Amino acid sequence: MQQESPVIDISEFFRLFVTGLQYRVYKFCEFIRIACSFYSNFSFMKADISLYLMYLFENPYSISRKFLKSKKKQRHLYIRRNPYSVSCENCRGLWCYR
């Protein structure tokens, strides 16, 4: 049996290059669409751009882990809650029985 060489031919290289280029153009157009929709809110724009720049240099999971470790005292904010417990907190005990 003859093994295929690891070198790709010109047509496959061109197809991969065009696919990568199409992806970059789509990603840029999507970024512009989101920016026009939501960047009127300055605080959102600042947070989004800072996260985007952080993601270029660091893994998103490690960024999330650092954030959660820095907010250890507010751990109750990240507890999963079901809709019943949330509705009971919103009614302030007027009709909920726990």
* CA within 13 Å, CB half, 28: 6
- Give the dihedral sign, CA 22/27/32/37: positive
Type of residue at 48 = D
Residue found under tokens 């199409």:
22
Residue 81, SS3 per DSSP: coil
Residue 57, SS3 per DSSP: helix
Contacts of 87 (CB under 8 A, 6+ apart): 96
- pTM, two decimals, is 0.46
pLDDT tens string, the chain, 98 residues long: the values are 566 666 778 888 899 999 999 999 999 999 889 888 888 888 888 888 888 888 888 888 888 888 777 766 565 555 555 555 555 555 554 444 44
32: which 2 tokens?
């512009």
